[in-house]
């Protein structure tokens, strides 16, 4: 990783433009007070495909940080030339049918053809330009032609979670993993450009956005989710929000290292997953419900069949798991062809799944099918919007979901995720077991003042279930939890955080527990 960072820094430094030397008689400029109060709080570099990008995050005396994007070697005049004159030449140069451009399977081939054509266009217009700079300008030209223009650069920043366009009269906003919401130095030129970007995204997924259908929920080929609205539904102008799809999905060891969850709570949840107990992951918006669901799914044994159901693909499981991912589909402009989550849940029960993962439960019929699946011997994991266990139970048992309290005994536990916006941190707030008739018992609860998650209750019902179906005594359950704590801490210590690494060790633990425990005891590196 360090070598890669140094390589990117080297690329950036090669293409950084030298500042112009000041004239001898020119007095040193006096910085305005706002400039004097500027403070760089972060800076880093990355590659947007093969375009070097420099980022600085500054405090400029306002209430939120400023996220500055700069591309060394591409000044404002160069950008204008590329986006006006040369972009038209490039479109004329490439002979492609619109169906090829919109087909997600042909994206690599289309990009390759445009990259080759862009190289020819630049060679004609800038014959003296070095090959390195021609390559960078060609990539920028292709991004502005096929992609989302200036929004493409932040899309490649792994530190970002959201990119928000509120209208053309104010800067683009981003949500940074370290600094929260920030303004940027990126502006879209007019409302028409925002509409064009939204329309481009819609066409790629077979949908449309216009005055009759001014709301859009869609996704990019990379998996990033897109929501767009048009004026006057959004009063200040056209909007577009992109929620970035994590290219390095969260695993249980990521969450432990980031202090989102403790090893003990994670081990208890692992024990539940191992023994096929159904769980619901609750939390507010942006609390990390889906990320936690992804981490939880990585603990499923490799010899079991998994069916996942989502509105938009967000889960990424180990490549060797027996996994069938399914997504819903919106109706076409004529109102036909819709595939709902309920349709997929009913269909999933006919696929002989051992485990069913549901992106989010929202409606009564979905919840009824979900709990019916639990009662017929399937392990189910789902997310739900609720801020604590009490609210989760209340949401499940009241309209619009309205599950009868008698059915809740099929659910073993609730994991509650919490996002503290003020301090920009995420924590597992509670882990609770569910008793009959909607009663619950909190086993672990986060202490905000101490930033610890102590045990506050005994997992009596989970212990009863494990004793009944696995023959484990209370002492054996406790020993098993602490054994898993040791394994998790060993994985964190050795940096095993990728989906396949964690999944491989967990699957080996199920097959040959002693082999994994021996490596943990000796603190040996695991050979994948």
pLDDT at 24: 37
Give the phi and the psi of residue 321 in degrees, each rounded to 5. Answer: -75, 155
Token couple for 231:
């004026």
- pLDDT over threshold 80, residue 15: no
Domain boundary among 214, 243, 272: 243
Instruction: Tell me what percent of the residues of the chain surpass a pLDDT of 70.
Output: 92
In a domain, 505, yes or no: yes
In a domain, 39, yes or no: no
Averaged confidence pLDDT in the chain: 88
Kindly state the helix (H) or strand (E) to which residue 465 belongs, with its residue range: helix 460-470
Token couple for 478:
């406790």
Query: Distance between CA atoms of 362 and 380, rounded to whole angstroms?
Result: 15
Same domain, yes or no: 354 and 415: yes
In a domain, 427, yes or no: yes
pLDDT at 61: 78
Work out whether the CA dihedral 178, 180, 186, 188 comes out positive or negative.
positive
Parent domain of 183? 46-243
pLDDT at 411: 96
Band (36; pLDDT cuts 50, 70, 90)? very low
In a domain, 6, yes or no: no
Q: Exposed, middle or buried, 449 (CB in 10 Å: 0-12/13-18/19+)?
A: exposed
Query: Distance between CA atoms of 474 and 497, rounded to whole angstroms?
Result: 31
Domain boundary among 213, 243, 273: 243
CB 153 within 8 A of CB 69: yes
Domain boundary among 243, 261, 279: 243
CB neighbour list of residue 300: distance below 8 Å, 6 or more residues apart = 273, 306, 317, 321, 355
Same domain, yes or no: 265 and 319: yes
**For 491-522, b where at least 16 C-beta lie within 10 A, e where not — what string?**
bbebebbbbbbbbbbbbbbeeeeeebeebbee
Q: β-strand 379-385 against 279-283: which pairing, if any?
A: parallel
Q: In the 8-state DSSP scheme, what is residue 86?
A: I
Cα distances from 265 to residues 30, 261, 272, 313, 360, in angstroms, run 57, 7, 11, 27, 23
CB 361 within 8 A of CB 401: yes
In a domain, 5, yes or no: no
Which tops the pLDDT comparison, 234 or 32?
234
- pLDDT over threshold 50, residue 22: no
Same domain, yes or no: 231 and 271: no
pLDDT at 528: 83
Cα distances from 223 to residues 51, 124, 156, 312, 316, in angstroms, run 21, 36, 13, 8, 11
In a domain, 15, yes or no: no
Mean pLDDT of 298-325: 93
Band (247; pLDDT cuts 50, 70, 90)? confident
Same domain, yes or no: 237 and 265: no
Number of folded domains that form the chain: 2
- pLDDT over threshold 80, residue 261: yes
Same domain, yes or no: 336 and 237: no
In this structure, of 19-28, 43-52, 103-112, 302-311, the range with the lowest mean pLDDT score is: 19-28
- pLDDT over threshold 90, residue 3: no
Query: Distance between CA atoms of 428 and 281, rounded to whole angstroms?
Result: 10
Query: Distance between CA atoms of 388 and 486, rounded to whole angstroms?
Result: 29
Query: Distance between CA atoms of 406 and 395, rounded to whole angstroms?
Result: 15
Same domain, yes or no: 409 and 484: yes
Mean pLDDT of 180-207: 92
**How many distinct helices (H) and strands (E) make up the chain?**
19, 17
Query: Distance between CA atoms of 418 and 143, rounded to whole angstroms?
Result: 37
Same domain, yes or no: 287 and 197: no
- pLDDT over threshold 70, residue 130: yes
Band (13; pLDDT cuts 50, 70, 90)? low
Same domain, yes or no: 279 and 359: yes
Query: Distance between CA atoms of 347 and 113, rounded to whole angstroms?
Result: 40
- pLDDT over threshold 80, residue 34: no
In a domain, 198, yes or no: yes
Band (38; pLDDT cuts 50, 70, 90)? low
Check which CATH number belongs to the domain holding 494 and give it: 3.40.50.300
Which residue's structure tokens are 């490649």?
Answer: 156
In a domain, 30, yes or no: no
Tens digit of each residue's pLDDT (9 = 90 or more) over 39-72: 899 999 999 988 899 999 999 878 899 999 998 8
Strand residue runs (E) in 286-434: 305-310, 322-327, 355-358, 379-385, 413-420, 425-434
Closest CA to 296 of 339, 337, 267: 267
pLDDT at 467: 96
Tens digit of each residue's pLDDT (9 = 90 or more) over 350-398: 999 999 999 999 889 999 999 989 988 899 999 999 999 999 999 999 9
Same domain, yes or no: 138 and 226: yes
Same domain, yes or no: 331 and 439: yes
Name, of 27-31, 209-213, 421-425, 480-484, the range with top average pLDDT: 480-484
- pLDDT over threshold 60, residue 420: yes
Same domain, yes or no: 201 and 271: no
Tens digit of each residue's pLDDT (9 = 90 or more) over 138-192: 888 888 888 898 899 999 999 999 999 999 999 999 999 999 999 999 999 999 9
Same domain, yes or no: 110 and 187: yes
Tens digit of each residue's pLDDT (9 = 90 or more) over 66-84: 999 998 878 777 777 887 7
pLDDT at 27: 45
Check which CATH number belongs to the domain holding 67 and give it: 3.30.450.380
Query: Distance between CA atoms of 110 and 60, rounded to whole angstroms?
Result: 42
Give the end-to-end CA distance of the chain in Å, rounded to a whole number.
Answer: 19
pLDDT at 6: 59
């Amino acid at each position: 990783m360090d070598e890669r960072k140094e390589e990117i820094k080297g690329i950036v430094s090669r293409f950084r433009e030298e500042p112009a030397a000041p004239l001898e008689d020119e007095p040193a400029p006096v910085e305005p007070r706002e400039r004097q109060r500027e403070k760089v709080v972060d800076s880093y570099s990355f590659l947007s495909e093969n375009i070097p990008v420099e980022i600085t995050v500054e405090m400029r005396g306002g209430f939120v940080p400023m996220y500055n994007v700069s591309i060394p070697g591409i000044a404002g005049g160069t950008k204008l030339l590329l986006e006006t004159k040369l972009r038209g030449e490039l479109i004329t140069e490439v002979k492609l049918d619109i169906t090829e451009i919109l087909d997600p399977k042909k994206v690599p081939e289309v990009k390759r053809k445009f990259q080759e054509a862009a190289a020819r266009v630049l060679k004609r217009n800038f014959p003296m330009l070095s090959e390195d700079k021609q390559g960078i300008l060609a990539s920028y030209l292709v991004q502005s032609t096929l992609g989302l223009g200036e929004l493409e650069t932040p899309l490649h920043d792994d530190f970002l979670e959201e990119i928000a366009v509120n209208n053309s009269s104010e800067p683009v906003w981003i949500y940074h993993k370290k600094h929260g919401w920030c303004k940027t130095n990126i502006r879209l030129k007019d409302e028409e450009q925002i509409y064009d970007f939204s329309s481009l995204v819609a066409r790629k997924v077979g949908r449309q956005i216009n005055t009759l259908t001014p709301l859009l929920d869609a996704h990019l080929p990379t998996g990033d989710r897109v929501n767009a609205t048009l004026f006057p539904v959004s009063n200040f102008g056209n909007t577009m929000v992109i929620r970035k799809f994590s290219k390095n999905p969260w695993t249980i060891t990521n969450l432990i290292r980031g202090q989102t969850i403790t090893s003990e709570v994670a081990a208890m949840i692992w024990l539940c997953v191992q023994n096929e107990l159904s769980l619901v992951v609750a939390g507010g918006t942006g609390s990390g419900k889906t990320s936690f669901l992804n981490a939880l799914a990585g603990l499923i044994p490799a010899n079991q069949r998994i069916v996942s159901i989502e509105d938009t693909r967000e889960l990424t499981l180990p490549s060797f798991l027996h996994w069938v991912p399914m997504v819903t589909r919106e109706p076409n402009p004529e109102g036909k062809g819709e595939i709902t989550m309920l349709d997929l849940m009913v269909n999933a029960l006919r696929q002989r799944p051992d485990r069913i993962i549901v992106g989010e439960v929202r409606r009564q019929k979905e919840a009824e099918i979900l709990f019916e699946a639990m009662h017929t011997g399937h392990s189910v994991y789902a997310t739900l919007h609720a801020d604590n266990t009490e609210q989760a139970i209340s949401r499940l048992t009241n309209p619009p979901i309205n599950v009868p309290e008698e059915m809740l005994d099929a659910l073993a536990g609730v994991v509650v995720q919490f996002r503290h916006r003020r301090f920009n941190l995420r924590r597992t707030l509670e882990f609770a077991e569910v008793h009959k008739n909607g009663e619950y018992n909190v086993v672990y609860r986060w202490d905000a003042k101490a930033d610890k998650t102590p045990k506050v209750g005994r997992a009596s019902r989970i212990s009863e279930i494990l004793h009944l179906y696995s023959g484990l005594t209370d002492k054996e359950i406790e020993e098993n939890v602490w054994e898993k704590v040791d394994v998790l801490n060993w994985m964190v210590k050795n940096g095993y955080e990728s989906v396949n690494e964690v999944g491989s060790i967990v699957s080996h633990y199920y097959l040959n527990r002693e082999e994994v425990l021996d490596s943990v005891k000796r603190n040996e590196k695991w050979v994948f």
